[in-house]
Amino acid sequence: MIQDKANMFTDGAQAITASAASEDSLNWEIANPNKGEGTPLYARVVVTEDFAGAGASMTVAIQDSADGSTWAAIMTGGSIGVADLVAGKKILVPLPKENRKFIRLYFTVASGPFTAGEVVADLTAEE
């Protein structure tokens, strides 16, 4: 797996215990990039530490923003149960072809907090 620092949503492993945005957002530098029909892009989330605690599941959403401060979900992956959130688990959420200038991830924890669990996330063309 090749990672580009400019395409990282997390700077190293990000602990996820409650619902939260990714540590970093990506800036396309133009107002409304349209990626066209080229290679599909994905938000890739890799679990680096097993999840544990009262949290029942987690979903990962891609959010976009025109100004970097007001965010809206543009794609949401399926719910993943705590039993499946183990080190090495890879989650892919497809990036829509059209979005606004900034994108980030949002991790939603269902049914209580986790007491452990970390992820690393980036933008990739790999499936």
Q: Which residues pair with 87 in a beta bridge?
A: none
* Residue 75 near residue 61, CB atoms below 8 Å: yes
The predicted-structure confidence for 15-45, as pLDDT tens digits, reads as follows 999 999 999 999 988 877 776 777 888 999 9
The predicted-structure confidence for 5-22, as pLDDT tens digits, reads as follows 778 999 789 999 999 999
* Residue 101 near residue 16, CB atoms below 8 Å: no
Map out the domains of the chain with their CATH numbers. 5-25+39-124 (2.60.120.1110)
Q: Which two tokens stand for residue 79?
A: 């719910």
pLDDT of residue 38: 77
- Phi, psi torsion values for 29, nearest 5 degrees: 75, -5
The predicted-structure confidence for 66-101, as pLDDT tens digits, reads as follows 999 999 999 999 999 999 999 999 999 999 988 999
Q: How confident is the model at residue 2 (pLDDT cuts 50, 70, 90)?
A: low
pTM, two decimal places = 0.92
Cα 15 from Cα 13, distance rounded (Å): 7
Of residues 100, 109, 103, 97, the one with CA closest to residue 123 = 103
